[in-house]
Copies of this chain bind each other. A is one copy, B any other.
Amino acid sequence: KRIVLLPGDGVGQEVVQSAREVLDAIAEQFDHEFSYQACDIGGAAVDCSGTPFPAETEDACHQADAILLGAVGGPKWDQNPSHLRPEKGLLQLRKSLGLFANLRPIKGFSQLLHASPLKEEVVGGSDLLIVRELTGGLYFGTPSEISKDRESVVDTLAYQRMEIERIVEKAFQSARLRRKHLTSVDKANVLESSKLWREVVEEKKAEYPDVTVEHQLVDSAAMKLITNPTQFDVIVTENMFGDILSDEASVLTGSLGMLPSASVRTDGVGLYEPVHGSAPDIAGKGVANPIAMILSTAMMLRHSFQMDEEACAVEEAVQEVLNFGYHTADLHIKGGEQVNTKEMTRHVV
């Protein structure tokens, strides 16, 4: 299996190193062979090659079976023009590889629930998956431009029916592997794109009679994620709605530093990255929490390599390490022991 490593910026470097060590352990124990190729992306790539998504990186990613990304961005590049911003590299990577489905599982660890801003009786037991459309919608439609005189501006939310169909299918399939409940989120009382979205969901549901389907307006979903997060199993939604809702959902369980994500397409090729950012304030200090990256790696094993047993082994190792009370500086476990990135990685290995 060819894996491209894109450490990117900030703590990305450190956590991708952790992922690699965990993969080496899996390779040894399960007798697999993983080959690694590291490439630049984001701010690091801007600094070295003058672009956030160099051609060599793009080529390598197109050859890969899967990609592990650390994080992109940092204050150093915040004032750059858009084509030289680290985020642009990530957007181009998703688009270039056609990674249309962003999967964001959100599940609390009982040891960490105390860190949730929500009351335990509200958030306890919540376990949801947000399926966000990732290569269409408002973030990619054209025209998207400011007029020459800077007096007006336009962005475009556009979809082909096929783009909606494939993400909705992915969501139904994901629901089937879980608690079989799908919430489709839109703004069908205002947006035409949401009406087509809802039409596609209604059409597809005939093929998944075992999955119950519900439609929710995005404003209402933003409320219910907080007041009643346990009502959700799988949520499917447009790119920008998904961006907002998945970040909102990511803070509910108090485990932000632990959350993985996958961006995949139908043939199984995927990009795996932690939900947290590049954390420039602690970068290079060896104290970053590698668990979100490690759990992203488990998602890679499962989704891109069909190595379900291996994925479970990684996830169980993480759970056990938490059971022992080990945690990095961003977290607290009562009666636990604080460790650094390397130690945490070693414990999981």
Chain A residues within 8 Å of B, Cβ to Cβ: 82, 85, 87, 91, 116-119, 122-123, 138-139, 141, 144-146, 150-162, 187, 189-193, 195-196, 199, 218-220, 222-223, 225-227, 240-241, 243-248, 250-252
Contacts and interface: CB of A to CB of B under 8 A. Distances in A.
B122 A138 contact: no
A150 B196 contact: yes
Given A153-B159, A161-B152, A244-B219, A226 B117 contact: yes
A147 to B, nearest CB: 9
Contact of A154 (B117, B141, B219): B141
A191 B157 CA distance: 11
Given A118-B226, A187-B240, 19 more contacts: A87-B189, A117-B118, A117-B119, A117-B226, A117-B227, A118-B118, A146-B192, A150-B196, A154-B158, A155-B193, A156-B156, A156-B157, A157-B157, A218-B244, A222-B222, A222-B244, A222-B245, A223-B248, A225-B248
Given A157-B156, A157-B157, A138 B191 contact: yes
A2 to B, nearest CB: 30
A190 B119 contact: no
Nearest 5 A/B pairs, CB to CB: A219-B247, A222-B248, A153-B196, A155-B157, A117-B122
Contacts of A193: 153-155
Nearest to A117: B122
A139 B191 contact: yes
